[in-house]
Amino acid sequence: MKVYQKLTVKDGWVSEFTRHDGFQGGALPTSAAMGLISHTMVGNLPFTDTMFTPGPQGTGNSAHFGTAQDGTVIQWVPLGVAAEHAKAGNAHWYAVENADDGDPNNPYTDAQLSRIAQILELTARPEFGGFTIQVTDSIDKQGLGTHRMGGIPFGAHSCPDADQNPNHTRSQARAEIVRRANIIRQHGQYPAPEPIAVPASKPVAPGAFGEAHLSQVFAAGTTGAEHDAWLAYFRTLKAWSTVHQDLTPHEQHVLVFAHRTLQQI
């Protein structure tokens, strides 16, 4: 099963997503953000990409992110900047468009659910949106909302559900997206890591502990031998601490650093 890690960002752009600069609005400061709106494309990602970027088929509309059924994500607008997706809602709501193969009655794929959850957790962080991770059906309540809830000021759309004979599969999926986003916030990934068994003896650090160096190792958003060794140490030390009271002050500091920096053990 694919593991969806907490996303990393540089200069407003998510490291692991494809960047295609799209149509942008004004600033979207944290103080103004109310939440994330999950849209549906009534189509698929490649054509939506042509509409959201300058070119012959560009419409002037956009979103911050777009997901395909296989979990591919394009980012069109950086964090902290408004996208052109919901008229009066642009200045207060982040946006993710999601492929539906032309039919909003098609449910999200499992990959899309996890990608939207990653994006929800990301945009809700204090430095970007600072809003509560919850379902909302009101423009006056923070959380994961719908285009439809904004009514005429948002453009009078049924999105993310079908305009005719809707089965509401996409709007109803928000509870599951919120559940996954909270797991990512708490554990650093979805699915949550398997519980670590308490080792037979106190674990030993794989090298000299240096906060500045390890912050760089984990901020890169990539894995490697050093990354994996320290992550295993952090997790086994935490497991050890649940039943033993013999951590040294240094080891206690290591766990505080790990929790603050990684938020995934």
Q: Which of 17-21, 75-79, 112-116, 238-242 has the lowest mean pLDDT?
A: 238-242
197 found inside a domain: no
User: Token digits for 224?
Assistant: 């490697």
Shared-domain flag, residues 131 and 223: no
Residues 52 and 179 in one domain: yes
Strands 143-145 and 35-40: parallel
Q: Which of 190, 224, 250 is the last residue of a domain?
A: 190
214: β partners: none
Residues 40, 139, single domain; the answer is yes
One domain, residues 34 and 98 = yes
Residue where a domain terminates, one of 156, 190, 224: 190
Q: 194 vs 10, 172, 218, 239, CA distance in Å? A: 29, 28, 20, 12
**What local confidence, expressed as pLDDT, does residue 29 receive?**
95
Q: Are residues 154 and 239 in the same domain?
A: no
Summarize pLDDT for 129-155 with one digit per residue, the tens.
Answer: 999 999 999 999 999 999 999 999 999
pLDDT band at 13 (very low <50, low <70, confident <90, very high): very high
Tokens for 158? Answer: 């049924």
Burial of 60 (0-12, 13-18, 19+ CB in 10 A): exposed
Q: What is the pLDDT of residue 66?
A: 98
Which candidate, 110, 111, 66, places its Cα nearest to that of 85? 66
Q: In which band, very low, low, confident or very high, does the pLDDT at 196 lie, cut at 50, 70 and 90?
A: confident
Residue 264 has pLDDT above 60, yes or no: no
pLDDT exceeds 60 at position 42? yes
- Decide: 5 and 188 in contact? Cβ < 8 Å: yes
| Co-location of 68 and 158 in the same domain | yes
pTM summary value:
0.81
Please give the share of the chain, as a percent, with pLDDT higher than 90: 86
Q: How far is CA 118 from CA 87, 158, 193, in A?
A: 25, 24, 16
Looking at 157, 190, 223, which one is the last position of a domain? 190
Q: For residue 236, is it within any domain?
A: yes
Structural domain contains residue 198? no
Average pLDDT, the chain: 94
Helices marked H in the chain — which ranges?
45-52, 110-123, 169-172, 174-187, 211-219, 225-241, 249-262
Say if 15 falls within a structural domain: yes
Indicate the residue type of 183.
Answer: I
Structural domain range at position 240: 211-262
Is the residue at 81 inside a domain? yes
CATH number of the structural domain spanning residue 44: 3.40.80.10
Tell me the C-alpha distance between 126 and 182, whole Å: 14
Closest CA to 12 of 185, 111, 92, 129: 129
199 falls within a domain: no
Domain count, the chain: 2
- Percent of the residues in the chain that have a pLDDT greater than 70, as a whole number: 98
pLDDT band for position 223 (cuts 50, 70, 90): confident
Q: Do 154 and 112 belong together in one domain?
A: yes
For residues 107 and 170, state if they share a domain.
yes
On the question of pLDDT at 184 being above 90, the answer is: yes
- 119 shares its domain with 78: yes
Q: Is residue 200 part of a domain?
A: no
Asked whether the beta carbons of 45 and 101 are under 8 A apart, the reply is: no
Over its C-alpha atoms, the chain yields an Rg (Å, rounded) of 20
Tokens linked to 112: 């899309």
Same-domain status, 175 and 229: no
Residue type, 93: W
Per-residue pLDDT band for 168 (boundaries 50, 70, 90) equals: very high
258 shares a domain with 141: no
* DSSP H helical ranges for 128-173: 169-172
Tokens of 187: 């554990």
Is 123 contained in some domain? Answer: yes
CB 89 within 8 A of CB 37: yes
Same domain for 156 and 224, yes or no, is no
